[in-house]
Amino acid sequence: MDAEKEVKTITREPETFQMNYIGKPLRRVEGLEKAMGKAKYVDDLKMEGMLYAKPVFSRHAHAIVKSIDTSEAENYPGIVCIVTSKDIPGENELGEVVHDYPMLVAPGDKTRFEGDMVAIVVARTLEAAKKGAELVRVDYEVLKPVLSIDEALKDDVHVHEPSNVKHFHRVRKGDIAAGFAQSDYIFENTFEVGYQEHAYLEPQGMVAVPDIDGGITVYGSMQCPYYVQSAVARVLGFELSRVRIIQTETGGGFGGKEDVPSYIAAPAALCAYLTGKPVKLVLSREEDLRMTSKRHPIRVWLKVGVKKDGTLMAVEAKVWGDMGAHGTLSPIVLWRSNIHAAGSYRVDNVKVDVWGVYTNKVPTGAFRGFGSPQVFFAFESMMDEIASKLGVDRLEFRRKNALSPGDATVTGQILDESTGAIETLEQAEKLSDWSNLLKRVEDFNQKNRLRKKGVGIAHIHYGVSLGAMGNPLDASGAFVQIHKDGRVGVHIGGTEIGQGMKTAMAAIAAETLGQKIEMIKVYQPDTSYVPDSGPTVASRTTLFSGNAVRKACEVLRKRMVETFADFMKVEPSKVKVTNGKFSCPVGEMTFGEVAAMCDRNNVPLSETGWFASPRLSWDPGKGYGDAYLTYAFATQIVVVEVDLITGAVKVEEVYTSHDVGRAINRDAVIGQIQGGFVQGMGYALMEFIKYDEHGRMMTENFNTYIIPTIHETPRFRIGLVEKPFELGPYGAKGIGEPSLIPTPAAVANAVSHAIGKRVKRLPIIPEYLLSLITQREAEVV
Amino acid sequence: MIGTSFSFYTPSTERELLITLSKGALPVAGMTDVMVKIRTGKMKAKALSSVSRIESLKGVQMADDAVTIMAATTYTELLENKGLKWRLPILLDAVSEIGSTQIRNRGTLVGNIVNASPAGDGLLVAYLLDGNLEICSNEGCRSVDVRDFVKGPGQVALAPGEYIRSVTLKIPPKDSLYAFVKVGQRSAMAISVASVGVLLRLNAGTIEDFRIALGSVAPTVVRPLELERNLVSLKMEDGLFKTLAGELMNYISPIDDIRASAWYRREVVKRIVENLSVYLKGVEKQ
Ligand SMILES: Cc1cc2nc3c(=O)[nH]c(=O)nc-3n(C[C@H](O)[C@H](O)[C@H](O)COP(=O)(O)OP(=O)(O)OC[C@H]3O[C@@H](n4cnc5c(N)ncnc54)[C@H](O)[C@@H]3O)c2cc1C
């Protein structure tokens, strides 16, 4: 790989004490098992008497189910049973936030997209289950499907009653009319952004098992075990105590395994409950692409007023998000669009409105960035447009309006000390050698007729954790147990989904306890150990679970220190614990020896930790207040080369600076930044979902849904700004999502710069770009 | 898990291969097309017989004016063959852009030709180099031009019981310039959205030989022979490629599909041909 990585740190608080793990590059604690193929993913689970389930999906995007005939399928060899809506003992409802998603469409009801399930076939083999699913005969009355935001807004065909259109959120700050009246220039533009598929390596899947406690245990690939627990309990009509969820090693999530695993677990659990046998339900890649959530296609209309001197005066935004057939998480995803639509700058007059619209397509949901990359693409495109009209340097224009500690955000939230916005702008400027870079690119463009380079910049902020809309969910627990041999077991409610959570938790536990990192075991999450810890989303796990682990470990460390001090007959303050050793002026013991001594003396060596978000003051009616606990900031500069003959774009250089509060595991932070960039670049340049006129997805596998490969991966220069966040464990904020968020905007701005015409749509596939290039050629001639 | 079963033969001689074919087996090579089609149900086969382990179907034979590539020779083996570097550099350019290393380790040129996709990169080069197939059965062998062999998208003149032994490609005239331009949705692991192959030989500024083949813009690869002939003996002048690009539009009939629109395919082929001089390369000396 030619990706050059370079880390620069410009701001760093003095260390309170010398740390062994925090901030160092750490090897992944679960890496070896994964690399050797030993890690157990859900499809690796096989159990005695296990049955296989295959859903019967709707053949139509919009249709009334007249009748379901299962007789032929039932007689097929190997079929155990065929489950329909009448077999559901609890509620026929999957939705976590919006309740409009029946698990199995009942006769007389409507299917609202091709991924709605009508029945589930349970069989002894996967082959028989597949065959059975083909043999279930469903009689439909086909309705006209609603397939675009425009069709949905007409509201003549309804996906759900009473309307396709829902006004979800608003921001109101200052006096918008006065803001525009005081502006010297006003800019207006509409931007459109498409779908994105998460493209996790492992498709969705679950194994549900009737367990020895008289309930159901579900194993599977997921981000949010507690969502799965409530969905299974709801559909089965069970008490929560009879539903236990254990996450298996998970091959990627990116938000795609936030709510969707509930929609796989509930059917699997129902089949297990009805048959009394373990049941496996794993989606094929095609089923996964058709049925499971995507990033929202969004349309953004923006109006921005500025003074001649470049001061932002007013921002008005209207945002429409395509929710697809079911509401699922849309209200909360679009809430983030609401908070971020007016950009990352100081501006006194703001008005934002956000609508969700139903269509007969795949339900859209959580995806790394959660409704913010789309609106930042729009806003940061406007920033470039304005800078070029004003004839000012784009970076300078951003710096002039950027947020500092003590400033108010677009929603009126006063920012804390951990606000590294300006630092990221300055670091990116240095990393890229900004003014020379612009000259270098200009030189290249002078010399080349058919290839043009462009430089793009984007500056973003990101509300870490769930924010005001998710306040009640924003708390996490941990359970830490030290065994008498000194080994440490850590249970948390957050999940490892490839992002490096286990390593971060092990590092925090090791650092806090003074034990060696290889003595820490972070278990697969299990809902029976740790109370509801909310979802593993919103870049919140290091912050929330990390704090919970730290708190539990602080108590345990204190107890061990006291036991050791007592034994050594010294003051506890004289005791040092580091790297698996307790020491004091009169002697030392290993961590294991102290643990054994505690065990002999009945000193309890298990403890729970809990971290909850402080209440936020957001007022949804007014659309004003504190939206998030804190914000992460980033500035990204990219260089692209455009082939004017074909419209192909290559991203060549990336300079990116991220304010992370504190990097817990330096290598993992770099990995997130590189991975987030590549995923954002795919969204910007090549990834799209295509539907035919009947609402059937045409791009149903990775031969037609194209994502970037290592060939498209550019060179990176990465910088970290570390301004510790006082509530974060060791000052950490989050990086999972901010790594991706600036990228679509930065890439689009670079392409616009290269061709001399504004890109207003993502993805910038060659076809769209060539249409801009030919328009531009016609204008110039 | 592909959810379907079939018999699989691995004969070690051509005679054994013929026995399996007489039982109804389908000849296959790297199976990089076949397995994809079987998994999605686009192809049903009760039995497959692989040519990959038949020694007599491996390797490349060089003659003065032509190169014969045996059916079981993989793309990787072609890329590693030093003799092809100056004889058929355009073939290597095309092959090096097919799929990925893993696909090239298995895939074959003959498989690409029989697959008869209008997007086949190897097929395009076979059109350009006047490829000729040696087709064998219990009755003996016959030879067929690739252009006559391909009947339409995915359709070829191969009867049950027949297999292909080899494909022979003509070495272009000495000092020819060449270009292979593939437009895909990304730089690797992508099917051509449009492709252009060109061979051009000039003599003191006059065109002596000109060939062009276009992929993914019609039901099969397009080779406009009449247009090619009209160019011979013309002076190589500014504007010639522009005129050519315009005329080529009459020979193609691209469609809108999942990967690109007809508009884009037309436009991009036109722009590539207009700017051919950017792409043309000379053969490196041995
Ligand atoms: C991920 C991926 C990427 C790809 N990228 C490209 C690309 O960039 N460009 C491109 O052109 N193609 C591409 N392909 C398609 C495929 O790899 C090529 O067409 C390849 O050349 C097929 O060769 P094969 O030996 O694998 O053929 P097989 O799959 O074995 O066979 C293909 C067809 O040829 C027939 N056949 C094979 N050998 C014989 C024989 N000796 N006699 C008679 N019939 C025979 C088979 O019956 C079958 O109909 C890609 C495929 C995949 C899976």
The answer to whether position B101 is within a domain reads yes
At A4 the pLDDT is 41
Query: Looking at residues A491-499, what average pLDDT do you find?
Result: 93
CA nearest to B187, candidates A199, A747, A709:
A709
* ipTM for the assembly: 0.95
Hey, do A298-468+618-780 and A475-612 end up sharing a CATH topology, with the first three levels equal?
A: yes
Q: Which of A267-271, A715-719, B92-96, B189-193 has the lowest mean pLDDT?
A: B189-193
CATH number at residue B264: 3.30.390.50
Residue where a domain terminates, one of B170, B193, B211: B170
Q: Is the minimum distance from the CB of B31 to ligand 1 under 6 angstroms?
A: yes
pLDDT tens digits along A351-394? 999 999 999 999 999 999 999 999 999 999 999 999 999 999 99
CATH class of A475-612: alpha beta
Q: Is the minimum distance from the CB of B269 to ligand 1 under 6 angstroms?
A: no
Residue B196 reports pLDDT greater than 60: yes
Q: Is the minimum distance from the CB of B89 to ligand 1 under 6 angstroms?
A: no
Residues of A in contact with B242 (CB under 8 A): none
Query: Is B277 an 8 Å CB contact of chain A?
Result: no
Query: Is A774 an 8 Å CB contact of chain B?
Result: yes
CB contact under 8 A, B1 and A126: yes
Distances in Å between the Cα of A305 and the Cα atoms of A308, A309, A375, A390, A538 are 10, 12, 17, 12, 31
Query: Looking at residues A404-428, what average pLDDT do you find?
Result: 96
pLDDT tens digits along A693-731? 999 999 999 999 999 999 999 999 999 999 999 999 889
Q: Are residues B28 and B71 in the same domain?
A: no
CA atoms lying within 13 Å on the CB side of residue B286: 8
DSSP per residue, A350-412: EEEEEEEEE-SSPPP---TTTTHHHHHHHHHHHHHHHHHHHT--HHHHHHHHB--TT-B-TT-
Q: Are residues B141 and B66 in the same domain?
A: yes
Query: How far, in Å, from the CA of A220 to the mean position of ligand 1?
Result: 36
The answer to whether position B279 is within a domain reads yes
Reported as a pLDDT band with limits 50, 70 and 90, residue A538 is: confident
Reported as a pLDDT band with limits 50, 70 and 90, residue A780 is: confident
Query: How far, in Å, from the CA of A299 to the mean position of ligand 1?
Result: 42
Reported as a pLDDT band with limits 50, 70 and 90, residue A586 is: very high
Higher local confidence (pLDDT), B4 or A454:
A454
B37 to chain A nearest CA, in Å?
A: 12
Q: CB neighbours (10 Å) of residue A177? A: 12
CB contact under 8 A, A711 and B187: yes
Residue B27 in tokens? 């000849």
A751 to chain B nearest CA, in Å?
A: 16
Q: Is the minimum distance from the CB of B122 to ligand 1 under 6 angstroms?
A: yes
b/e per residue, A43-70, with b = 16+ CB within 10 A?
bebeeeeebbbbbbbbebbbbbbeebeb
Query: From the list B3, B188, B271, which residue is nearest A645 (CB)?
Result: B271
Residue A746 reports pLDDT greater than 50: yes
pLDDT tens digits along B235-254? 999 899 999 999 999 999 99
Q: Are residues B62 and B131 in the same domain?
A: yes
Residue A8 reports pLDDT greater than 60: no
- What lies within 8 Å, CB to CB, of A37 at 6+ separation is none
CB contact under 8 A, B186 and A127: no
pLDDT tens digits along A131-176? 999 999 999 999 999 999 999 999 999 999 999 999 999 999 999 9
CB contact under 8 A, A706 and B185: yes
pLDDT tens digits along B128-137? 999 999 999 9
pTM (two decimals): 0.95
Query: How far, in Å, from the CA of B2 to the mean position of ligand 1?
Result: 18
Q: Are residues B91 and B155 in the same domain?
A: yes
Residues of A in contact with B190 (CB under 8 A): 706
b/e per residue, A87-116, with b = 16+ CB within 10 A?
bbebbbbbbbbbebbbbbbeeeebbbbbbb
Domain ranges of chain A: 42-143+198-291, 298-468+618-780, 475-612
> Contact at 8 Å (CB) between A387 and A311?
no
A668 to chain B nearest CA, in Å?
A: 27
**Residue A232 to residue A226: CA distance in whole angstroms:** 10
The answer to whether position B2 is within a domain reads no
Query: How far, in Å, from the CA of B112 to the mean position of ligand 1?
Result: 4
CA B94 from centre of chain:
8
Ligand 1 atom closest to the CA of B121, numbered from 1: 11
Ligand 1 atom closest to the CA of B115, numbered from 1: 33
- What lies within 8 Å, CB to CB, of A316 at 6+ separation is A176, A180, A302, A303, A304, A350, A351, A352
- What lies within 8 Å, CB to CB, of B225 at 6+ separation is none
**Residue A506 to residue A546: CA distance in whole angstroms:** 9
Residue where a domain terminates, one of B126, B141, B170: B170
Distances in Å between the Cα of B117 and the Cα atoms of A160, B121, B150, B151, B222 are 43, 9, 9, 11, 12
Q: Are residues B119 and B74 in the same domain?
A: yes
Query: Where in the sequence is the domain holding B231, given as residue range(s)?
Result: 177-285
Residue A672 reports pLDDT greater than 90: yes
CATH class of A298-468+618-780: alpha beta
Which of B216, B241, B264, B272 should we substitute to test contact with A (largest number of A Cβ atoms within 10 Å)? B264
Residue B3 reports pLDDT greater than 70: no
The answer to whether position B139 is within a domain reads yes
pLDDT tens digits along B71-91? 999 999 999 999 999 999 999
Residue B118 reports pLDDT greater than 80: yes
Q: Is the minimum distance from the CB of B11 to ligand 1 under 6 angstroms?
A: no
**Residue A548 to residue A612: CA distance in whole angstroms:** 9
Span between the terminal Cα atoms of chain A, in Å = 42
b/e per residue, A746-772, with b = 16+ CB within 10 A?
bbbbbbbbbbeebbbbbbbbbbbbbbb
Residue where a domain terminates, one of B170, B186, B207: B170
Query: How far, in Å, from the CA of B122 to the mean position of ligand 1?
Result: 10
Q: Are residues B188 and B129 in the same domain?
A: no
Helix, strand or coil for residue A575? Answer: coil
The answer to whether position B16 is within a domain reads yes
CB contact under 8 A, A706 and B258: no
Helix (H) / strand (E) element for A299: namely strand A298-306
Q: Are residues B187 and B280 in the same domain?
A: yes
What fold is seen in the domain A42-143+198-291? Aldehyde Oxidoreductase; domain 4 (3.30.365)
The answer to whether position B63 is within a domain reads yes
Q: Are residues B147 and B213 in the same domain?
A: no
Reported as a pLDDT band with limits 50, 70 and 90, residue A536 is: confident
Query: From the list B1, B186, B271, which residue is nearest A712 (CB)?
Result: B186
CA A365-A366-A372 angle, to 5 degrees, is: 105
Amino acid residing at B13: T
Q: Is the minimum distance from the CB of B189 to ligand 1 under 6 angstroms?
A: yes
At B187 the pLDDT is 85
Structural domains counted in chain B: 3
At A5 the pLDDT is 43
At A18 the pLDDT is 72
Query: From the list B3, B264, B271, which residue is nearest A767 (CB)?
Result: B264
Facing residues of A24 across strands? A665
Query: How far, in Å, from the CA of B110 to the mean position of ligand 1?
Result: 8
B163 to chain A nearest CA, in Å?
A: 28
Q: Is the minimum distance from the CB of B26 to ligand 1 under 6 angstroms?
A: yes
Query: Is B275 an 8 Å CB contact of chain A?
Result: yes
Which of B242, B255, B256, B267 should we substitute to test contact with A (largest number of A Cβ atoms within 10 Å)? B267
Q: Are residues B64 and B163 in the same domain?
A: yes
Query: Is A770 an 8 Å CB contact of chain B?
Result: yes
Residue A781 reports pLDDT greater than 80: no
The nearest alpha carbon in chain B to A706 belongs to: B185
Query: Looking at residues A669-681, what average pLDDT do you find?
Result: 97
pLDDT tens digits along B13-69? 999 999 999 999 999 999 999 999 999 889 998 999 999 999 999 999 999 999 999
Q: Are residues B165 and B66 in the same domain?
A: yes
